[in-house]
Amino acid sequence: MADIINITDLGGELNRALTNSVSSIITFFNIIGIALIIYIIYLILRAFFNWKSAAKISKMTKDVEEINAKIDRLTKKVDRISHQLIERGIKKKEAKKKGFFRRLFGKSKRKKIGENNKLK
């Protein structure tokens, strides 16, 4: 006679085999899920710190632009003042320098006697 196969024993063996393979798959997915959660937390923290550093950099950029504008205004003033000083220096060089006594006492009240008005 043929061996009678007990279906309940076969179902139990099949169930144990599937449970062992499924439990390892479930454990694998649990490990992947934990790693994924940790990676998402890492991405969130990195985005937060990048946002803070970007905010600092934009503030520094605004400060640098403000400093550049002030430096431009100062250089324009310095250029204008130096140009004025150069023009004044040229005019002073062109003007005749008065004598020592004339600078000290001012203009002389004495009139020069011309050739036509000589005393005889």
Reply yes or no on whether the pLDDT at 19 is more than 80: no
Say if CB 113 and CB 119 are below 8 A apart: yes
Q: Is 116 a member of any domain? A: no
Q: Tell me what pLDDT residue 1 has.
A: 43
Tens-place pLDDT, residues 79-109: 888 888 887 776 665 556 666 777 677 665 5
Q: How many domains does the chain have?
A: 1
Give the structural domain span for 31: 8-105
Q: Is 98 a member of any domain? A: yes
Reply yes or no on whether the pLDDT at 17 is more than 50: yes
Q: Tell me what pLDDT residue 112 has.
A: 57
Q: Is 112 a member of any domain? A: no
| Token pair 């694998």 in the structure block, residue | 28
Q: Is 115 a member of any domain? A: no
Q: Is 56 a member of any domain? A: yes
Q: Is 120 a member of any domain? A: no
Query: Alpha-carbon dihedral of residues 112, 118, 119, 120, nearest 10 degrees?
Result: 170
Q: Tell me what pLDDT residue 96 has.
A: 62
Q: Is 72 a member of any domain? A: yes
Which has the higher per-residue pLDDT, 88 or 77? 77
Say if CB 102 and CB 108 are below 8 A apart: yes
Tens-place pLDDT, residues 29-73: 999 999 999 999 999 999 999 999 999 999 999 999 999 999 999
Q: Is 28 a member of any domain? A: yes
